[in-house]
Amino acid sequence: MKQSNRNTFRIFILGIALLLSIIISFRLGRYPIHTKELFGILLSKIFPIEPFWDKQLETVLFNIRLPRIFLACLVGCCLSSAGAAYQGVFQNPMAAPDILGASSGAAFGAAFAILNNGSHYMITFSAFFFSLLTVIIVYLISKRAKGNTILGLILSGIMVSSLFSAGTSFIKLVADPTDQLPAITYWLMGSLSGAKKSEVLFALFPMLIGLIPLLLLRWRMNILTLGDDESKTMGVNSKRVRFIIIASSTLITSASVSVSGMIGWVGLVIPHLARKLVGNNYVYLIPATMLSGAIFLLIVDNVSRNLFTTEIPLGILTAIIGAPFFIYLITRKEENY
pLDDT at 55 over 60: yes
Q: What is the pTM of this model?
A: 0.91
* 211: Cβ contacts below 8 Å, ≥ 6 apart: 77, 78, 81, 248, 252, 290
Mean pLDDT of the region 34-54: 84
For every residue of 230-283, DSSP letters joined together read: HHHHTT--HHHHHHHHHHHHHHHHHHHHHHH----SHHHHHHHHHHHHH-S-HH
Compute the distance between CA of residue 202 and CA of residue 184 in angstroms, rounded to an integer. Answer: 21
More confident residue, 143 or 171: 171
In a domain, 337, yes or no: no
Residue 322 confidence (pLDDT) above 80: no
pLDDT per position as a tens digit, 233-285: 777 788 889 999 999 999 999 999 999 999 988 998 899 999 989 988 999 99
Residue 68 confidence (pLDDT) above 90: yes
Cα distance between residue 255 and residue 207, in whole Å: 6
Within a domain: 88: yes
Query: Is residue 226 domain-resident?
Result: yes
Number of domains in the chain: 1
**Domain containing residue 320:** 3-331
- Domain of residue 41, CATH code: 1.10.3470.10
Confidence of residue 50 (pLDDT cuts 50, 70, 90): confident
pLDDT digit string, tens, across residues 106-126: 999 999 999 999 998 899 999
**Do residues 118 and 301 make contact, with C-beta atoms less than 8 angstroms apart?**
no
Query: Of all residues in the chain, what percent are helix, strand and coil, respectively (each to 5)?
Result: 75, 0, 25
Would you say residue 334 has pLDDT above 70? Answer: no
Instruction: Please tell me the predicted confidence (pLDDT) of residue 245.
Output: 94
- Alpha helices for 90-196 (secondary structure H): 102-115, 120-144, 149-174, 180-189
The whole-number pLDDT of residue 301 equals 94
Residue 211: closest CA among 67, 85, 89: 85
Taking the C-alpha atoms of residue 290 and residue 266, their distance in angstroms, rounded to an integer, is 11
Does a structural domain hold residue 264? Answer: yes
Percentage of the residues of the chain whose pLDDT score is greater than 90: 58
- Residue 144: predicted pLDDT: 85
81 membership: H or E segment, kind and range: helix 66-89
> Taking the CB of residue 236, how many other CB atoms lie within 10 A of it?
18
Residue 309 lies in a domain: yes
pLDDT the model gives residue 244: 94
Residue 158 to residues 25, 172, 249, 335: CA-CA distances in angstroms? 37, 21, 17, 25
- Average pLDDT over every residue of 3-20: 94
Is 60 exceeded by the pLDDT of residue 333?
Answer: no
